[in-house]
Structures are given as structure tokens and as C-alpha cells.
């Protein structure tokens, strides 16, 4: 397909791996909500259709963030900062590539400042008349240049939005004004520790723990009451409201103004009668009921908690899961009409690692991954069952559904086959799309096979088919070192033991271009499952500008 390409801004605050779960469109607000984990900078892709026009917008320049922000704090705050500087300069071990800001924040991954609503002059082609609304991408973007260790996932959440109306576009970039962002903005430097990068050697780790406790006791910040997340992972429409999410905290409600700006309303607990501190960054919204299904994980029992949010925006009772014996880093899950499916994989959280000066997140090569299946409307975990699935470390769920009158559960997901590289060498990680068929009666996997030999992740579908049997999926093509080089369309109906490649169409990007995860936007009166558009951002490393790519998702190969 011919892509509608637009030169929007020279660069985004890209972060290594991005994860996409889908797009939703609210008929009242006309918001297209994007579930993006982080943002890649990658180069390749083949068109999925031949029917698109080319559009281009004038480039808007975004400036890198200043290294000279003013410290406005008291003598005590300056003393804490001096101790932090000492830890960074004298106690830290030599920085590994995964936590070295000079490596992590280089090139297109460099942080950028906010950009107020800015009209984009169309200089080539036109936007499809049926596209009305806003397109949002969320991803990590540190508001300060790091003084010490920094991981890809440590950045403050920043939303990049295109507002499309009557063939015209406005672009805006805004930080999610989280508690963490606000405290550090007022202080003029970072103070919150990171589970991914702060624990770099025993001496540095212990010093940062003591320093963090001192800051809390001194009233510099209070993470227990106010949270400490960055809301830097995804965006979701839940019960008609728009939220920025990150799995270490509660969601932050955001609002789009009529002039194309983004406002943070505040941290939200969905009117829960039970106190809780976090929500997955990849909730599942039922397109038929408007209900949202979600979970959170913990370092103490119960290590997994499943819950639902009604269409009225109110959270239901918790369903604690005590049958998980260790804390798994569960990033995503799958949902059918009657079940929720969780992957208890080899990426785990071990607090005792802190005593060794290591991050609490690690991989456990001895652990055998499992899938846990629980009834969607259960009141407790009594009917939950687990099955061993060796080698399955789910990154992102494509979709799941039931067949054979509910006797078979089908899960389609991306699998991190090189799990040992997931945290330290994410740029070398290998991901494949798989179909897994589970017998409800026998409580075992009855079939499992790859859907393509390509390295694929960030899969999306037509959101109207969430939790139901669907035919088409779209996924990003990932190249080493961690670059999205294209997008493919898969026909899941071709899946079988005899078919090792369900790709029916693809588009690879031009040389020097790096992409973001794709998202599916259905037509207003879509007759077929693939009747819609596939949209994404693509960055041109040579020209230092980015394009908003719109592709015909229905086009034949």
C-alpha cells in the first residue's frame, strides 16, 4: 500500500523496545488511544496496500532538554543532591551499556522538550477525510539529563499527539504531570530511585537506599501516599476517560483540549473501596460491554491480583492469586469471553538481589514458565489452573478467544525467546509470534507453533475483535540491534502445524528510517475486519525528521 507520509517533527524521545496492545476510539470524544510501551527508532517496512496517498507536513523542530535547569531548593535538598552526586561519581560501578545514559539516550533516543500545540502545514497529499480525532503515543523521556545510571524505562512519561480535524493536523508533546515529575520539576533535579538502574554495586545501592529513606523522612517526597510511577508506558480509554499508564503506579487521567493541548487531571483509583497502588499498563477493554479487565503484581503474597473496572468507571473487588510462588514480571495478559490468561514467566522480581547490589529484576533460567487460566467473573482463585509451557515468556498479547463451544482456548502472543537478554541486552532480544491452543477439559497445551519466522512484536488487531476469534493481525518487524524495520500483516486463518509463515503482506521502511509500533484504526462503517488504516510514526535518521505514516490495512499483498 502507498503510505501517507508526513514530516512531523525531527525526532521523538525514542526508547528501545515498544509494546503495543491496540487502539480504541471513543465515539463521544473521538480519541484514538494508543497503547505504546516505549518507542523504537528503526528502519524498514513494506506497504500493506497500494491505495494510499502521500501526505507530508512541514518539519517542526524540537529542542533537546536543557542541562542547566535551576535548583530551587533548600540547603537540605542541596545536601541530598551533593550526596547523590558523590554516589554517582565515586561509588557506582562502571556503567553497563544498559544503564549508561551516554549509550541509552543517544541519537534518536535523545530526550526532547515539550512542544505546545503547533499547526502542521500540509505540503504534500491529504489526510483521509474519515480520520477525525487524535493519535497519542506515550513513552519515556527524562526531564533531566541523568547524573548517574539510567535505564531505558526510567524516563518520565511524555505524550506525543496529532490532532486531526477536517484534513488538518496539529502536533503537541506534553509530559504527564505525575507526582514524580512534579516533585523533581520543583526541585530542579531527579530524586526518585529506579528499580532498573539505581542498584549498581553494593556500596552505591546501599547509599541510594539510605538517601531515599532520608528524603522521605525529611518530607522531600512521599511515594507511599502519592505513588512514584512515571506513567510512561501506554495510553488507554477506560470507561470513556483517557489515561496514561505505567505498571508501577496508578493511571493518570489526561484530557485533550479543543485547541489540541494535553492536560494532566491527576492520579486515579477508579473509586476503589480497597486501597491499591498499581495497575497493569496493558488493560483489556471489552468492546461489547465496555468493561475493563486488569491486574497488578506484588513482591509479597498475593503475588498477582486480578480485577475488573465496570463501564461506569468503578473498580470491582480484587481477586487475589496466592498460587504464584514467586513474583513474575507480568507485562501483559490475554482475555477471552470467559477467561483471563496469565504468563508466569522467567522474568522475576527478587528483592534479595538488592543485598548483592543488583537490581531486583532478573531472569531465572531454571524456572519453567506457566500459563494460569482463571474464570473472568470469578470471586476467588479456587477454580484457577496452571499448565507448564516451557520456553514461553510472553511479551505482548495479540488476542485470545474460545473455540469448540468453549472447550479450546486460543492465545496468540509474542514470545521473548531470548529471555536472558530481556533486561541487560534488550537490543539483542529475539521475539516471535506464536499461537497456543489449550484444552479446557484436559487442562493442557494441545498445540503450539510459530506464526512467522520473522522477529515480530507490538502486535495489534481491529479492537472490535478483542476477546473474539479474529483473522488478521499486524506486527512490527524487529531487527538487531532493536530496531523496527517494517510492519507485516498476518492471516491467522493460515495457522497450522504445516504453515510456518502467516505473513500475507508487508511494508519495509526506507534506508535510514526507523519506526514505531503500528496501530489499527477501523473505518466508521467497516464491513470487514481489516477495513481500516494502519498508522505509525517513522523517523528518518538522515534528515532528522519524522513522518506520520498512514497505510491501507485492507490492501492485498
Over residues 232-245, the pLDDT tens digits come to 999 999 999 999 99
Contact 515, 51 (CB under 8 A): no
More confident residue, 365 or 387: 387
pLDDT in tens, 38-73: 232 222 222 232 333 334 444 333 444 444 444 445
Which has the closest alpha carbon to 316: 239, 373, 240? 239
- Verify cis geometry, omega within 30 degrees of 0, for the bond prior to 302: yes
494 has pLDDT over 50: yes
- pLDDT class for 548, splitting at 50, 70, 90? confident
Residue 221: the pLDDT is 92
3-state secondary structure 431-493: EEEEEEEEECCCCEEEEEEECCCCCEEEEECCHHHCCCCCCEEEEEEEECCCEEEEEEEEEHH
pLDDT at 28 over 50: no
Distance CA 260, CA 207 (A): 44
List the one residue out of 328, 136, 307, 157 whose CA is nearest residue 228.
157
Is residue 300 within 8 A of residue 292, CB to CB? The reply is: no
Q: Would the pLDDT of 169 be above 70?
A: yes
Q: Answer whether residue 367 shows pLDDT above 90.
A: yes
CA gap 534, 531 in Å, rounded: 10
| Mean pLDDT confidence for 373-380 | 96
Q: Is the pLDDT of residue 359 over 80?
A: yes
pLDDT at 208: 96
Q: How far apart are CA 262 and CA 253, in angstroms?
A: 11
Q: What is the pLDDT at residue 455? A: 87
Phi, psi of 237 (to 5 degrees): -95, 110
Q: Would you place residue 422 in the very low, low, confident or very high pLDDT band (cuts 50, 70, 90)?
A: low
217 compared with 22, residue with greater pLDDT: 217
- The answer on whether 396 is annotated among ligand-binding residues is yes
Q: Give the residue, 31 or 416, on which the prediction is more confident.
A: 416
The answer to whether 487 touches 536, Cβ cutoff 8 Å, is: yes
- Predicted confidence band at 423 (pLDDT cuts at 50, 70, 90)? low
**3-state secondary structure at position 92:** coil
Query: What percent of the chain is predicted at pLDDT more than 70?
Result: 83
CA distance 429 to 490: 22
The full 3-state SS of 398-426, as one line of letters, equals EEEEEECCCCEEEEEEEEECCHHHCCCCH
Residue 282 annotated as lining a ligand binding site? yes
Q: Where does the pLDDT of residue 108 fall: very low under 50, low under 70, confident under 90, or very high at 90 and above?
A: confident
Per-residue buried b or exposed e for 502-522, using 16+ beta carbons within 10 Å of the residue's own CB? bbebbbbbeeebbbbbbbbbb
Q: Label each residue of 208-230 as H, E or C.
A: HHHHHHHHHHCCCCCHHHHCCCC
331 is in an annotated binding site: yes
Instruction: Collapse the DSSP code of 30 into the 3-class scheme (helix H, G, I; strand E, B; otherwise coil) and give the result.
Output: coil
Higher pLDDT, 382 or 37: 382
Q: For residue 513, which of 541, 476, 543 has the smallest C-alpha distance?
A: 541
Which whole number is the average pLDDT over 447-468? 93
Which grid coordinates are listed for 47? Answer: 506497504
Does position 120 have pLDDT exceeding 90, yes or no?
Answer: no
Confidence band for 275, pLDDT divided at 50, 70 and 90:
confident
Position of cell 542547566?
68
N residues, the chain: 557
> 291-332: per-residue pLDDT in tens?
999 999 999 999 999 999 999 999 999 999 999 989 999 999
Is 160:137 a contact under the CB 8 Å cutoff?
A: yes
Residue with cell 491499591: 276
Q: Is the pLDDT of residue 110 over 60?
A: yes
Cα–Cα distances in angstroms (integers) from residue 546 to residues 146, 163, 283, 312, in the given order: 25, 16, 29, 38
Determine if residue 166 is left, alpha or beta; phi over 0 gives left, psi from -120 to 50 gives alpha, anything else beta: left
* Average pLDDT rounded to a whole number, residues 209-223: 94
Least confident of 1-10, 338-347, 413-422: 1-10
Place of cell 522475576: 348
pLDDT given for residue 43 in this prediction = 23
Look at residue 556 in the predicted model and tell me its pLDDT: 62
Higher pLDDT, 114 or 38: 114
In degrees to the nearest 10, what's the CA dihedral of 132, 137, 138, 144? Answer: -110
The pLDDT value given to residue 121 = 74
pLDDT value of residue 428:
61
pLDDT of residue 12 exceeding 50, the answer is no
Kindly report, residue by residue over 67-96, the tens digit of the pLDDT: 444 444 588 888 999 999 999 999 999 999
**Average pLDDT of the residues in 150-172:** 92
Tell me the pLDDT of the chain averaged across its residues: 83
**Which residue bears the cell 482456548?**
409
The pLDDT value recorded for residue 306 is 97
State how far the alpha carbon of 348 is from the alpha carbons of 75, 96, 120, in Å. 40, 20, 44
Three-class secondary structure of residue 99 per DSSP: helix
Paired residues of 535 in beta bridges: 519, 550
Amino acid at each position: 500500500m502507498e503510505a501517507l507520509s508526513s514530516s512531523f517533527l525531527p525526532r521523538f524521545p525514542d526508547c528501545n523496545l515498544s509494546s503495543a496492545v491496540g487502539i480504541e476510539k471513543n465515539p463521544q470524544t473521538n480519541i484514538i488511544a494508543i497503547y505504546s510501551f516505549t518507542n523504537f527508532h528503526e528502519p524498514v517496512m513494506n506497504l500493506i496496500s497500494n491505495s494510499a496517498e502521500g501526505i507530508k507536513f512541514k518539519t517542526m523542530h524540537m529542542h533537546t532538554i536543557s542541562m542547566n535547569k535551576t535548583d530551587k531548593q533548600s540547603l537540605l535538598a542541596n545536601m541530598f543532591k551533593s550526596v547523590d552526586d558523590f554516589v554517582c561519581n565515586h561509588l557506582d560501578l562502571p556503567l553497563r551499556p544498559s544503564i549508561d545514559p551516554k549509550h541509552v539516550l543517544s541519537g534518536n533516543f535523545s530526550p526532547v522538550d515539550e512542544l505546545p500545540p503547533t499547526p502542521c502545514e500540509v505540503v504534500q497529499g491529504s489526510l483521509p477525510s474519515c480520520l477525525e480525532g487524535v493519535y497519542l503515543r506515550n513513552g519515556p523521556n527524562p526531564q533531566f539529563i541523568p547524573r548517574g545510571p539510567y535505564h531505558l524505562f526510567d524516563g518520565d512519561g511524555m505524550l506525543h499527539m496529532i490532532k486531526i480535524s477536517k484534513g488538518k493536523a496539529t502536533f503537541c508533546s506534553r509530559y504527564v504531570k505525575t507526582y514524580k515529575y512534579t516533585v523533581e520539576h520543583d526541585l530542579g533535579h531527579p530524586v526518585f530511585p529506579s528499580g532498573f538502574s539505581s542498584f549498581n554495586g553494593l556500596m552505591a545501592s546501599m547509599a541510594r537506599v539510605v538517601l531515599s529513606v532520608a528524603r522521605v523522612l525529611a518530607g522531600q517526597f512521599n511515594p507511599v501516599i502519592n505513588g512514584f510511577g512515571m506513567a510512561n508506558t501506554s495510553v488507554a480509554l477506560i470507561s470513556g476517560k483517557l489515561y496514561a499508564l505505567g505498571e508501577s503506579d496508578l493511571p493518570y487521567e489526561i484530557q485533550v483540549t479543543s485547541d489540541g493541548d494535553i492536560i494532566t487531571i491527576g492520579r486515579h483509583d477508579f473509586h476503589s473501596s480497597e486501597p491499591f497502588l498499581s495497575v497493569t499498563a496493558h488493560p483489556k477493554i471489552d468492546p461489547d460491554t465496555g468493561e475493563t479487565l486488569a491486574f497488578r503484581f506484588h513482591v509479597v503474597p498475593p503475588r498477582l491480583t486480578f480485577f475488573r473496572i465496570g463501564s461506569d468507571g468503578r473498580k470491582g473487588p480484587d481477586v487475589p492469586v496466592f498460587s504464584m510462588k514467586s513474583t513474575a514480571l507480568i507485562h501483559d495478559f490475554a482475555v477471552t469471553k470467559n477467561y483471563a490468561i496469565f504468563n508466569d514467566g522467567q522474568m522475576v522480581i527478587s528483592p534479595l538481589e538488592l543485598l548483592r547490589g543488583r537490581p531486583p529484576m532478573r531472569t531465572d533460567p531454571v524456572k519453567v514458565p506457566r500459563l494460569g487460566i482463571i474464570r473472568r467473573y470469578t470471586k476467588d482463585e479456587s477454580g484457577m489452573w496452571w499448565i507448564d509451557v516451557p520456553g514461553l515468556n510472553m511479551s505482548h498479547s495479540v488476542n485470545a478467544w474460545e473455540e469448540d463451544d468453549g472447550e479450546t482456548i486460543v492465545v496468540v502472543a509474542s514470545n521473548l525467546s531470548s529471555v536472558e537478554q530481556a533486561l541487560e541486552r534488550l537490543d539483542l532480544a529475539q521475539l516471535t509470534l506464536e499461537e497456543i491452543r489449550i484444552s479446557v477439559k484436559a487442562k493442557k497445551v494441545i498445540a503450539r507453533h510459530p506464526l512467522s519466522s520473522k522477529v515480530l512484536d507490538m502486535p495489534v488487531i481491529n479492537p472490535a475483535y478483542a476477546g473474539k476469534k479474529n483473522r488478521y493481525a499486524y506486527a512490527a518487524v524487529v531487527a538487531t540491534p532493536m530496531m523496527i524495520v517494517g510492519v507485516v500483516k498476518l492471516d491467522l486463518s493460515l495457522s497450522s502445524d504445516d504453515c510456518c509463515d502467516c505473513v500475507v503482506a508487508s511494508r519495509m521502511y526506507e534506508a535510514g528510517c526507523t519506526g514505531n509500533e503500528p496501530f489499527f484504526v477501523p473505518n466508521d462503517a467497516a464491513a470487514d475486519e481489516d477495513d481500516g488504516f494502519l498508522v505509525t510514526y517513522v523517523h528518518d535518521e538522515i534528515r532528522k525528521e519524522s513522518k506520520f505514516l498512514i497505510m491501507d490495512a485492507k490492501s492485498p499483498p
